[in-house]
A and B are shown apart, each in its own frame.
Chain A
Amino acid sequence: MKNNTTLLKKKVMRWESFLVLILIAEVFIFGLINPKFLLPRVFLGSINNFMTICIVSLFVTFVLITGGIDIQAGSIVGLTSIFIGVLWNDAGMNLYVACFLGLLLGAFCGALSGFFIAFTGVQSMVVTLGGSFLYSGLALMVTNFSSTESYKGISGFPKEFTHFVKGRIFNIIPNQLVIFLVLILITYLLLHRTTYGRKVFLCGVNQNAAEYCGIKSKLIIMSTYILSGVGASLAGILLTAYLGTAKTDLGKEITLPVITAVVLGGTSNLGGTGGVIGTALAAVVIGIMRFGLSMADVNTQYLDIPVGILLIIAVAIRFAGTNPAISKFFNKFKHPLKR
């Protein structure tokens, strides 16, 4: 009986539940401020505003679980976008073949960085920093092959391409939400229900132990960067379709929100712990917060302030307990009689 209650307690007290609570609070508060916020069409449609962050952070979770970090994903989003634009517009290629090549390009970019990280022992932060310079620079170089000016972007994509992403099922549920849910399912199964996922976790907990278990840990680590590269490309394609324009700087501002989402979702940047569900929830929490605040007439330029504060407070709650001085202080309140 006691066992059951502790199990239940464990399940309820999980980090994800805390995120759900924040989400409910957000919906409640923003609903009070602006009732329009609660209209299903508006509320569900808000996903379109932060879809890129959602998708990229799902895949970057894999990288953080192995103990690495990926700050190049944003550049890959822009590179893919302009790449398919140039292939379609100036090389006259079939759009869907171009999209497929875009995904391959993302995989290649991820593989390149992942190779250096896994096989030469350079810190992931340094390599992906170099990667972010390199891929954003390559994106600018790709625009030189286009007849369009780079700041304008390439537009005029066929209707069925943009329509699929902009469309809604029953005129209410956006297709992007469905795509997001499917991606959550896929990444969840991959990370939490396959041997590959277990290997990813073990590489994050202890790479040497993983190596001694016969796991090719270097390949596993490299594969996580490939996954995040593919995820970034996918996000780039969807964003291009949604906006109807291929531009180099599409993913420029997503590094901060993506890392925020992954860490807020309960994934440790030291590796070994975390999960996809938490990341997805956290991405939605951040997205809804930005959307709700902008609907409450807060200037969009100010939105980094609450997101930053949320990040620091949430992570402080999780990590402050590891400081003996602080946990001692709080234990005083927990057991006033025992002391």
Chain B
Amino acid sequence: MLKKHSLPRATTSFVFLILLFIGVGLINSSFLTLQNIMLNLNSSVIYTVVAIGIAFVIITGEIDVSVGATLGISAAICGTMVRDGNPVQGIIIALLVGLFIGLFNGFGVTVLRIPSIIMTLGANGIIRGMIYVYTNGKWIENIPLEFKALAQAKFLGIFTWFYFATLVAMVLIYLYMTRTRTGRYFKAVGDNPNGANLLGIPVVGTKIVAFVLCGLFASIGGIMYVSRVGFITPIAGNGYEMKVIAACVLGGISLTGGVGSVIGATIGAAIMASISRALVFLGFPSDYDNTITGILLIVVVVFDSVLQITSAEKVRRQRLSAKIVHAEISTPEAVENEK
């Protein structure tokens, strides 16, 4: 049942992604080469990782707008330590920071009952300030070449290792969320927290786990950022939260919770990353990037909503007319029986 709900929406997004590639490819054929497609997908890796993380939170019916800042501070911490020659330490501490931020958000939302958008907005402000305290407002540069090379290393010559690992993680998480008992808790909690509570599902625990996973994935995104981008400004990751939420929505994850899958998040992230490159291939200036993203987001979501409303109406009418037909058939019989 759950599978039936989530799959079609992710498929429409996937079809849309393919249409985007074909459409742009018709105008500029060099967009449709395998090399370019892979380049597109590989460049979406940071969005994808963060989107998978935030998908947990959105599916449980909450929201996290501190992921951009979490990514930024993880990148800053990991970046300085890698620069100073302690890459393993840097990665571990960055992950711990992400974990702690997730715990902090989860604690505020579940125990203190702060609405999640407020809690994470506050956390966003605090973390952004912390980045300035930590870096003194300076750029972090001179990341060793070996660390930067990690992002370029290829698997089978087409995928980067980062993207391949992300895809594997996505599949595992998808299986976890659809096939296992604890994995299904996320959707249950997002769909109806009170109902989930009555069924004996640990609502508070599930939400905290979702926030912790979100923080962890944002840190992983931060570590990848260090490797891919190679320098960290104090505003690294600014605006990622909005892009990632938009990616999830494009991929069919409902912000009311309970609907969607990590596959959708991955496809949405690929769409978000492809748009700006597609515009370049179409010959538009990059100024149009935000405009197109905004229009696309609104159109997709409104279209989807209208479609859902009309289909629900259709089902209702069918049921009503079936009742009427049934009533028409049954009344003469009843009359005859009376005779």
Contacts and interface: CB of A to CB of B under 8 A. Distances in A.
Say whether A and B bind each other. yes
B336 to A, nearest CB: 42
B245 A123 contact: no
Contacts, number: 154
Nearest to B133: A302
A8 interface: no
A133 B293 contact: yes
Interface centre among A134, A144, A308 (most CB of B within 10 A): A308
A140 B290 contact: yes
A133 B246 contact: yes
Interface in A300-331: 301-305, 307-309, 311-312, 315-316, 319-320, 322-323, 325-326
Given A299-B132, A308-B126, 8 more contacts: A126-B249, A130-B294, A132-B294, A133-B290, A140-B287, A301-B234, A316-B112, A319-B112
Contacts of A326: 111-112
Given A137-B290, A304-B128, A270 B115 contact: yes
Contact of B242 (A116, A133, A312, A319): A133
B287 A308 contact: no
Interface string B278-304: 000000010111111111111001100
Given A269-B117, A305-B126, A311-B118, A126 B294 contact: no
B121 A256 contact: yes
Interface in B235-270: 242, 245-246, 249, 255-256
Interface in B113-158: 113-115, 117-119, 121-126, 128-130, 132-133, 137
A129 B112 contact: no
A1 interface: no
Interface of B: 63, 108, 111-115, 117-119, 121-126, 128-130, 132-133, 137, 234, 242, 245-246, 249, 255-256, 285, 287-298, 301-302, 305-306, 309
The 5 A-B pairs of least Cβ separation, nearest first, read A134-B294, A137-B291, A137-B290, A308-B125, A133-B294
A331 B63 CA distance: 31
A14 B276 CA distance: 49
Interface residues of A, number: 48
24 contacts: A69-B117, A121-B305, A122-B302, A122-B305, A126-B301, A129-B242, A130-B293, A130-B294, A133-B246, A134-B295, A137-B290, A140-B291, A141-B288, A259-B118, A259-B121, A299-B137, A302-B132, A304-B126, A307-B125, A308-B124, A309-B126, A311-B125, A319-B115, A326-B111
Contacts of B296: 130
Contact of B298 (A116, A259, A312, A322): A116
Contacts of B137: 299, 301
A134 B137 CA distance: 30
A53 to B, nearest CB: 13
A308 B122 contact: yes
Contacts of B132: 299, 301-302
A319 B113 CA distance: 6
A228 to B, nearest CB: 17
A319 to B, nearest CB: 4
A127 B245 CA distance: 12
Residue from A130, A140, A259, A311 with most neighbouring chain B CB atoms (10 Å): A130
Contacts of A132: 242, 294
Interface string A36-51: 0000000000000000
B290 A123 contact: no
B305 A135 contact: no
A16 B117 CA distance: 22
A144 B287 contact: yes
Contacts of A307: 125
Contacts of A245: none
